[in-house]
Structure 1
Amino acid sequence: MTTLPRSLAVSSLALALAACGGTGQPEARYIAEGNPPLLSDWGQVGLSGGDLVLGGNVVAYDMNTALFTDYAHKLRTIWMPDGTTAHYREGDTLDFPVGTVITKTFYYPRIDGELGERVARTEDTSADFQDGRMAMDQVRLVETRILVHRENGWVALPYRWNEDQTEARLHRVGAVIPMTLVAEDGGEEAFNYVMPNTNQCAGCHAPDSNSRAISPIGPKPRHINRDFAYTNIPQNQLERLETVGFLEGLPDLAQVPRNAAWGDEHASLDELARSYLDVNCSHCHSEVGPADTSGLFLEPDTPFGPNLGVCKLPIAAGSGTGNRPYDIVPGEPENSILVYRIDNVEPDEMMPELGRSTVHAEGLELVERWITEMTGSCEI
């Protein structure tokens, strides 16, 4: 695919935003030092005419299957300074240059326009970012997390949105935010949304236990190899990054790995479950991850067997076994430690250990079905 010059790409994006009514577009920037107090200092996202819009040349993206965070919806973005580009890496996160800014904004659809602690638990995406903007009267923004690649490595900075939804301020100490999820059938579930402090960010974003360096974990080719509706024109996200000059070395898309998309009716049960476990667990559960001592590796290329947890005795689960004998017992989710830990919100027993205060019922059901359909047996 032909890559546009960066100046032309910026102009094209600006024209597209203007065509859909965008005004007051923020100026995206890289801040090499310090801890800017306001999210608006970065210019990655901003408010315009009652909508949330992206800064100049900021590219939105989505995941085939997303990491679960208490049913929050997420707007993800990537931006790089002029003259820089990322390099394609097949089995790892894209190799982003110094100056890259990645954001993730967590939000919930409102209920009947109400702005308060009651939010919708729904997979309805009608209130999500689309056509270059997101209507602020349809969502409650909670936080925006910044990952910035500086000369000495990646830095994580969390910003909490104020009650008026006009700005997000740096909140390095974390926060516990009481909220209530309201399901489509009217059922309610009170929970504490936990905003991590800057130290806790390394709990997920340090996928190499040797270096313990912070890095992005989401923008791997297999996770983002999918279409996104850029100003209502669908385009593959990797091709989009290449088009605007943010990516070099992209092979033919037919050669790029792709995880199953959440809810894809054409994907097999195994593909769906492995994709879910990959994005939610494999940044820790890999041969070099923080959970390497567990012997449980949940990357997509892990072969069926003990390393995937099948008939594997727990090594480092502590109290998180639930008195169950193996990580996975084929055909018996009720006897599998993996299910016990997903169906848990106790700090010493749940998995993942961070990032949620509720059980993902749909994800749990998917993993239970996956194990139920496995053949074989273990000595119990």
Structure 2
Amino acid sequence: MGCSSGGGDPPPGGQAGGPDVSMPEVDAGPDDSGEPACVEYAMPTDVDCAAPLDGVLPVDLRCTGLYGDFDKRELACGVLEYKPAVELWSDGAAKRRFVSIPKGQRVDVSNPDAFVYPEGTQFWKEFRVKGADGALRLGETRLLRKMAAGWVYTSYVWSEDERQAIQMQNDFGVPDLYGTGHMVPTRDQCKECHVGRADFVLGWDALMLGPGAEGVTRESLVALGVIEDASPLALTIPGDEVERQALGYLHANCGVSCHNDLPESAAHDTGLYLRLEASELGSVAATDAVRTGMNKRPAENAKYEGLKNPDPANWYDIRPGDPARSLLVARQELRGFEGQMPRIGTRQVDDTGLQLVTRWIQGMTEPNYPPPGP
């Protein structure tokens, strides 16, 4: 998606580079190992798979290599479905995620906080959203593809009969897709989140592929030939069950994209960092969330509009034992104002995530945590 380990931002429309749309060769995938069967991908002949003149990503989702049999929605060989241990909140949309790594290539996991992906890597994320009748329907599929010049990206919007998915043809997103309330993000919104990761991909790291992950895990990456050794990735979130759940939730929903120390991240200047770093997992007290949030007054540019108490003197980022004066909680509860968290891509409060963080702060008592600030 535009930011990359090389090359500049692609031109508008989520595309970059020249006209080459050739697909990288990928591993053949499951055969007689007991895994689900796959269908060898073949470029369709009944649709135009040529890239637009200003980019490299095809207009039709059928041309991206996701499905071997599009009509049956059967995955192409080499495409793996996965589910991270902790999922990003998307207003209750049902999501499926897929990845393909070029055959013979490996992901560099030498830094467990920042994987580096080989050229030709592709990630897709599919959203099923509720219509007026309450039934789930295909709404959007997002694509990331790593090119020589960096990441390119786009969103494919499904037709109402779910027979076709066509690339969004402008940078403006879709604020309310088919009346479902689902927002297809703008190009800038995609970039705002993804530049918070050094190599752009948000949902893959040692923790999100750890215990609770499905389909692809940090251990299975070795068997798949994607990495050589999983031992550097054997990381554990510290604390008791309440602490682990809250820290994991904040990591996946806030830390990996925005609230971290990468200068490009959207919330870097807040000084509140919620990403779990491999070197800081020895104890809860060592995590960024505690070190940068506990009894800390919010940054000068903090937003208070829409809060029940807009007085900055009332708030701490995290006040031990007191979620009612912890801005972290108040922003989770807020919607419709600039200070809401997550800031974009949601109109509904994640009640489960809110409860996890509230329980954690309520349980912050001495001697494990400092007394609350005045």
Q: TM-score, normalised by structure 1?
A: 0.74
Listed as ranges, the matches of 1:147-162 within 5 Å are 147-162=144-159
The answer on 1:201 being equivalent to 2:201 is no
Which position in structure 2 is the counterpart of 1:63? 84
Q: 1:229 to 1:194 in 2, by over 3 A?
A: closer
Which position in structure 2 is the counterpart of 1:343? 333
Which position in structure 2 is the counterpart of 1:144? 141
SS at match of 1:277: helix
Q: Which runs of 5+ in 1 are unaligned?
A: 1-5, 111-115, 121-138, 181-190, 231-235, 261-265
Alpha-carbon separation, structure 2, partners of 1:42 and 1:176: 25
The correspondence for 1:165, drawn from 159, 162, 165, is 162
SS at match of 2:154: strand
Which position in structure 1 is the counterpart of 2:210? 225
Q: 1:89 to 1:358 in 2, by over 3 A?
A: farther
Q: Which runs of 5+ in 2 are unaligned?
A: 1-24, 281-285
Superposition RMSD in Å: 3.2
Amino acid at match of 1:271: R
CA deviation map 1:21-52 (0-9, x unaligned): x6x65448999952311111102136556x43
Alpha-carbon separation, structure 2, partners of 1:31 and 1:63: 33
Which position in structure 2 is the counterpart of 1:126? none
Alpha-carbon separation, structure 1, partners of 2:43 and 2:344: 30
**How far is 1:90 from its partner?**
4.4
Contact kept? 1:119, 1:179, Cα under 8 Å:
no
Alpha-carbon separation, structure 2, partners of 1:101 and 1:53: 17
Q: 1:339 to 1:227 in 2, by over 3 A?
A: closer
Listed as ranges, the matches of 1:83-94 within 5 Å are 83-94=104-115
**How far is 1:338 from its partner?**
0.7
The answer on 1:361 being equivalent to 2:351 is yes
**How far is 1:76 from its partner?**
0.9
Amino acid at match of 2:193: C
Contact kept? 1:31, 1:42, Cα under 8 Å:
no
CA deviation map 1:104-145 (0-9, x unaligned): 11114x6xxxxx33436xxxxxxxxxxxxxxxxxx4111111
Alpha-carbon separation, structure 2, partners of 1:349 and 1:310: 19
The answer on 1:239 being equivalent to 2:228 is no
SS at match of 1:78: strand
The answer on 1:257 being equivalent to 2:235 is yes
Amino acid at match of 2:259: H
Deviates more, 1:218-227 or 1:62-71: 218-227
The correspondence for 2:31, drawn from 8, 12, 15, is 12
Contact kept? 1:176, 1:194, Cα under 8 Å:
yes
CA deviation map 1:183-220 (0-9, x unaligned): xxxxxxxx732110222211110016xxxx77111111
Q: 1:36 to 1:373 in 2, by over 3 A?
A: same
Q: 1:366 to 1:7 in 2, by over 3 A?
A: closer
The correspondence for 2:250, drawn from 277, 280, 284, is 277
Amino acid at match of 1:370: W
Which position in structure 2 is the counterpart of 1:297? 273
Q: 1:298 to 1:14 in 2, by over 3 A?
A: same
Which position in structure 1 is the counterpart of 2:363? 373
Q: 1:228 to 1:304 in 2, by over 3 A?
A: closer
Alpha-carbon separation, structure 2, partners of 1:95 and 1:28: 28
The answer on 1:319 being equivalent to 2:291 is no
Contact kept? 1:28, 1:44, Cα under 8 Å:
no
Alpha-carbon separation, structure 2, partners of 1:223 and 1:31: 35
SS at match of 1:176: coil
Identity %: 28
Q: 1:243 to 1:251 in 2, by over 3 A?
A: closer
SS at match of 1:364: helix
SS at match of 2:176: strand
**How far is 1:341 from its partner?**
0.3
> What is the aligned length?
320
